[in-house]
Every structure is written in C-alpha cells, then in structure tokens.
C-alpha cells in the first residue's frame, strides 16, 4: 500500500524538488481547472446541506402555521338577562353564593329567547351545544366584579363550543354530507343566522395563555404547563449548574492528573451521550421510589432533568476553562494570589461566556425533553395550575404530547399553537445565550 503511494507521489516530489521545473501553460491551466472544480464541488455540497436544512425548517414552520389559529377563538354575542332569581335567590348579594349560581342556565335562556321556534328536547340540546360548557364563567366574573348588573340585561360575548369554532374557522368541512359531519345542518343554519345578525365575533383566546388543561379544547390552556416548565427549569438550574460548575472547576484547576480523574473524565463525557429515557428510569428509581418525592411534580422532574443536564454543564465549563490562556492564571499567581483567588477572581469570570452558552444550551435541551418526564408520571391530565414545585404539573412538551393524542378535532390546532409557544420559549433562551456571550466576551 505504502509503496504504491510513494510510486504515485514520486514524480510529484521530484517536480517539487526540481527548482528548474516549470509546468507548461497547458499543465498549469489543467491544474487551475482542477482546483476550481474541487472548490465548486465543496461549495455545492455545502449549499446542498444548507438547502436541505432550510427546506426542513420551512416544512416545520409550514406545518405549525395552523397553530396561530389557536390564538383566536369565536364567541357568540347574546343578550343575557342577569336574573336575580337565578344568581342570588336569597337576595343577600353574598359573593360566595353568587359564585355558585348556574350561569350556564342564563346563557341557555338567552339562546331559547333568540330561537323561540326551537322547542323540542333535541332542538334545545342542539342550541345548548352552541356554547362552551365553560361559557358561564365569564358571566360569573362579571357579576362578582360588579354586583349591580344583577337584574339587568347585558350584551355579552360568550365562548362558542369547539365544534362551532371549527366550523367558523373552516376546519370542519361544510360540504360533506350531513350524516358524516360532526355538526349537523340544523346547527349550521343556526350559526348562519347568528352570523347574519352580527352575533359572531372573534376574540383573542385569553384562556389559551391563562388557564390550565381542559378536556374541552376551547377552554384548554397552556398556563399550567408553562408554570410547570418554569418550575422544572428552576429546579434543573439550581441542581445542575452550581454542581456542574464546581465539579468542572475542581477537575480542571485542582484535581491531580491520574487514573482516577481520567476515569471520571471519560465517564462524564459518556454520560453526556446517554439517552434521556435512561435518566428517566434513574429518576423514577431514586427520586420517587427511594426519596418518595411526589409523582408528576416539577421537583422530581427537575432533579431528573438536572441529572441529565449535569454532564453537559461539566463538559461545557471545562472546555471554557481550558480556553483561558495559562498566562492569566500565572499572572495572578505571580502577584501573590492564592489558587482559589486566581480561579474565582480571574479565570472563572473570563470563562463565563462559554459556561453560560453551554449551560443555556443544556437547559434548552432539558426544556424540550419529554421521555424522562413520562417515566416519572408527568404525562398526566392536570387542570390545576401548580403553586409550588411539589404540586403535580405538566410541562410544555408533555402537554403537546397529550394534546396530540386527544380525539377532539380542535386539539390539533392547540398542539400546533403549543409548539409555537415552546419554540418561542427556546428562541428566547438561545437569544439570551447569544446576548450574554456577546456582552461578556473578551478577546486577548
């Protein structure tokens, strides 16, 4: 093999050694052509890679664009009579009693008044199915904010039911035959009449951002998952970053170079590549079964994700520390600083941009992680917004997973909406990483 290589190379070598060798114009032109061809090939390969990347990104964005529909919803404007007999039968205006009243009934009455011809049981049921089962909450909030409206009639926009919203958004095809359509002809006619009267409005879907999960897509929100994710990130950060940086500083600046530290180093590097589901099992065994942390809680989830992020932080911190020129340490030691002072006052601050970038990328990874959370029971339907890391909570990626698996049609839209929010969250985190790196960066 070697001999062949030398044989081929020999004439070239001879040419190089021969000071008098001059290629002919033809040879030189061929050489130049070859060089350009290689350059073009390299550029082409690069461009192809880039094009595939851009295409994939484009497809991803195109597929989540329908998610913006989740940010608006339809409401039906009705003339609600705030009947004192329903809201406040005892006449005491006691807020606790008024909070429990059947506001849904007020909405149904307004609908029956609007469509007096619908008298049968089935027809009335169809009318009731126009509005969301959570529509009455708005009336309750109005009454509690201003009890003087009891007894009056007000125009209120109440949230439409999911299927109605889907018809108005065009996600339910009106042209398919009635028997295979979720929304029947009679209901469509009612919707059209409401639209003619200008009683259908679009509004900003506040509950998508301000409430927890729900089985009713028009009421389901991301807030519980957002708070859950925030708690998760907090616990992950507190657990992995101080410990990771401390471990890296020790390994890089203080530890003796011997077999033990070599072994530790290899292990940490390998740990960074362990599949996340394995950390989930570890979290299940340690945090739930041994320590008895509550299932589905951000504290258990955060510690699990922290275990997963720890090696990433250690590796990134070590790389950042290694990139600081030894002259910095030596100068500090030379003017009498102790080793701890040299590290804490000089090396660590200079390494900060690198450490932060690595940490934030590790955290962003943890934010998008689902598999380990499934193992510790965060794949759950949780309505209440968590008030501490010990409460049961969902997380953004898990919420996406749950919605994607729900049969009701509108959840597809919500899934895409939640993906947009998650991507936004990630962009903010990565943006922060870039900003901090720019700000703290130092050149020598």
Partner 1 sequence: MKRLMLTATAVAVVAVAGEAMARDQIRIVGSSTVFPFSTAVAEQFGRAGKFKTPVVESTGTGGGFKLFCAGVGESHPDITNASRAIKKSEYEECVKNGVKDITEVKIGFDGIVVAESKGARQLDLKIEQIWLALAKEVPKDGKLVANPYRTWRDIDPSLPADKIEVLGPPPTSGTRDAFVELVMDVGCQKFPEIKALEAKAQRAACQTIREDGAYIDAGENDNLIVQKLKANPKAMGIFGYSFLDQNRDALIAHKINGVEPTYDNISSGKYAVSRSLYFYVKNAHAAVVPGIREFVAEFTSDKAMGPDGYLADKGLIALPDKMREEVRNRAANLEPLTM
- Our CB check for partner 1 shows the closer of 293 and 366 to be 293
Instruction: Find the shortest distance in angstroms from Cβ 422 to partner 1.
Output: 19
CB 241 within 8 A of CB 355: no
- Our CB check for partner 1 shows the closer of 288 and 324 to be 288
Instruction: Find the shortest distance in angstroms from Cβ 97 to partner 1.
Output: 13
- Our CB check for partner 1 shows the closer of 294 and 430 to be 294
CB 154 within 8 A of CB 79: yes
- Our CB check for partner 1 shows the closer of 375 and 425 to be 375
Instruction: Find the shortest distance in angstroms from Cβ 315 to partner 1.
Output: 19
DSSP 169-226: TT-S-TTS-GGG-SS-HHHHHHHHHHHHTT-EEEEE-HHHHHS---SSTTT--SHHHH
Instruction: Find the shortest distance in angstroms from Cβ 382 to partner 1.
Output: 5
- Our CB check for partner 1 shows the closer of 211 and 357 to be 211
Instruction: Find the shortest distance in angstroms from Cβ 408 to partner 1.
Output: 6
DSSP 306-359: HHHHHHHHHHHHHHHHHTS-HHHHHHHHHTT--HHHIIIIIIHHHHHHHHHHHH
SS3 per residue for 254-273? HCCCCHHHHHHHHHHHHHCC
Instruction: Find the shortest distance in angstroms from Cβ 150 to partner 1.
Output: 20
Cα gap 438→354, rounded to integer Å: 10
Angle of helix 410-440 versus helix 396-404 axis, rounded to 10: 160
| Chain residues that interact with partner 1, rule: CB under 8 A | 100, 125, 133, 172-173, 176, 179-182, 214-216, 238-239, 242-243, 246, 288, 291-296, 299, 377, 379-384, 390, 392, 402, 404-409, 412
CB 227 within 8 A of CB 217: no
- Our CB check for partner 1 shows the closer of 213 and 369 to be 213
- Our CB check for partner 1 shows the closer of 396 and 425 to be 396
Instruction: Find the shortest distance in angstroms from Cβ 292 to partner 1.
Output: 6
Q: Residue 80: which of 22, 150, 30, 12 has the closest Cα? A: 150
């Amino acid at each position: 093999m070697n001999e062949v290589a030398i044989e081929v190379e020999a004439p070239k070598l001879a040419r190089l050694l021969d000071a008098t060798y001059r290629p002919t114009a033809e040879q030189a032109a061929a050489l130049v052509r070859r060089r350009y061809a290689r350059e073009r090939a390299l550029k082409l390969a690069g461009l192809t890679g880039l094009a595939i990347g851009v295409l994939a990104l484009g497809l991803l964005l195109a597929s989540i664009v329908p998610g913006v529909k989740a940010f608006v919803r339809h409401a039906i404007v009705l003339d609600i009579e705030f009947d004192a007999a329903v809201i406040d039968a005892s006449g005491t205006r006691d807020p606790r009693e008024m909070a429990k009243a059947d506001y849904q009934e007020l909405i149904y009455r307004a609908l029956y008044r609007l469509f007096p011809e619908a008298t049968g049981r089935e027809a009335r049921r169809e009318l009731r199915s126009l509005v969301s089962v959570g529509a009455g909450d708005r009336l309750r909030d109005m009454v509690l904010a201003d009890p003087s409206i009891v007894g009056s009639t007000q125009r209120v926009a109440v949230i439409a039911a999911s299927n109605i919203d889907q018809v108005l958004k065009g996600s339910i095809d009106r042209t398919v035959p009635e028997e295979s359509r979720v929304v029947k002809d009679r209901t469509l006619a009612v919707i059209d009449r409401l639209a003619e009267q200008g009683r259908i409005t679009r509004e900003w879907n506040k509950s998508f951002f301000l409430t927890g999960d729900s089985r009713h897509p028009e009421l389901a929100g991301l807030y519980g998952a957002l708070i859950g994710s925030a708690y998760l990130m907090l616990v992950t950060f507190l657990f992995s970053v101080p410990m990771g940086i401390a471990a890296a500083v020790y390994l890089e600046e203080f530890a003796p170079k011997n077999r033990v530290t070599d072994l530790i180093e290899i292990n940490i590097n390998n740990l960074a590549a362990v599949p996340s589901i394995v950390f989930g099992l570890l979290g299940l065994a340690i945090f739930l079964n041994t320590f008895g942390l509550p299932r589905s809680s951000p504290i258990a989830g955060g510690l699990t994700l922290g275990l997963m992020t720890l090696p990433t932080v250690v590796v990134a911190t070590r790389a950042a520390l290694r990139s600081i020129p030894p002259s910095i340490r030596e100068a500090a030691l030379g003017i009498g600083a102790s080793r701890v002072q040299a590290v804490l006052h000089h090396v660590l601050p200079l390494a900060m941009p690198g450490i932060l970038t690595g940490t934030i990328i590790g955290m962003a990874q943890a934010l998008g992680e689902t598999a380990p959370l499934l193992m510790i029971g965060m794949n759950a339907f949780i309505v209440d917004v968590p008030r501490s890391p010990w409460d049961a909570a969902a997380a953004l990626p898990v919420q996406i997973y749950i919605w994607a698996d729900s049969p009701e049609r509108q959840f597809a839209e919500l899934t895409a909406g939640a993906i947009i929010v998650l991507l936004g969250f990630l962009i903010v985190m990565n943006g922060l990483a870039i900003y901090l790196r720019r700000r703290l960066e130092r050149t020598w």
